[in-house]
Copies of this chain bind each other. A is one copy, B any other.
């Protein structure tokens, strides 16, 4: 677990209780929706405002701490950025699991980046499953 206060200092962001708990909650959950986040945060601080969560996410996104993943349904999901990885997305429920790149994928990516002069940010694999290991439900 990263040091939230330290991280905020590095990014020159004020360490408000709201911001601290947003970051901590992001570290706890994997790829929560805004609703997931807000509900959890309100439980620990009932005066937490939805707008505050959105604003904090926006700020953290600008600083490169958080990335947004927008797949499967109309809802954004949020992810603390660490290293390049793949998102495996359940088409049924939108749940997301992180997968590390394997060697062949790294090679494919490097090749594509060079050929097109681009920088690959992420790779999302959208899949359907009979019994979803991501959300533990049938679809």
Which residues of A does B touch, CB under 8 Å?
70-74, 88, 91, 99, 102, 104-105, 107-109, 112-113, 116-131, 133
Pick the residue among B73, B119, B128, B130 that contacts A121 (CB under 8 A). Answer: B128
CB pair A71–B125 under 8 Å, yes or no, is: no
The 7 closest A-B pairs by CB, nearest first: A118-B127, A124-B124, A118-B129, A120-B127, A121-B126, A104-B104, A119-B128
A70-B73, A71-B124, A88-B118 known; 6 new pairs, CB 8 Å cut-off, are: A99-B112, A112-B125, A116-B133, A117-B130, A121-B126, A124-B125
CB pair A121–B70 under 8 Å, yes or no, is: no
Contacts A122-B126, A124-B71 given; indicate if A104 touches B102 (C-beta within 8 A): no
Contacts A121-B91, A123-B125 given; indicate if A107 touches B108 (C-beta within 8 A): no
